[in-house]
Amino acid sequence: MIDFLADARSGAHKAGLALEKVARGADIDGQVAVADRLLLGAKTELLLPWGGPSTARPINVLDLIRALKDVSPTAMDTYEFLCESCHPTFT
């Protein structure tokens, strides 16, 4: 659950950055592509609720967590701790 919240926060941050770019006059089509990747991206063929397949590649969650660095410098450390806590890799 905590992992999900970290993923959701980083995705919301990325979406906010895209909206800021549009507000500053950036190419809206490029930012729509970011939104498609955030909301509809899938690694495998996935039928969307309206019946068509997802064609957008997802944004890697680690890229989303890295994007939080400007607002939360320890986000990656926290994410790595949470991941290791949930899925330990004992060697």
The fraction of the chain above a pLDDT of 70, given in percent, is: 91
Predicted pLDDT at 73: 92
Predicted pLDDT at 74: 92
The pLDDT tens digits for 23-34 are 888 888 888 888
Contact in structure between 57 and 46 (CB atoms under 8 Å)? no
> Could you say which residues of the chain have pLDDT below 50?
none
pTM, 2 dp: 0.68
Instruction: Supply angle C-alpha 31, 34, 40, rounded to 5.
Output: 135
The pLDDT tens digits for 15-24 are 888 888 888 8
86: left (phi over 0), alpha (psi -120 to 50) or beta: alpha
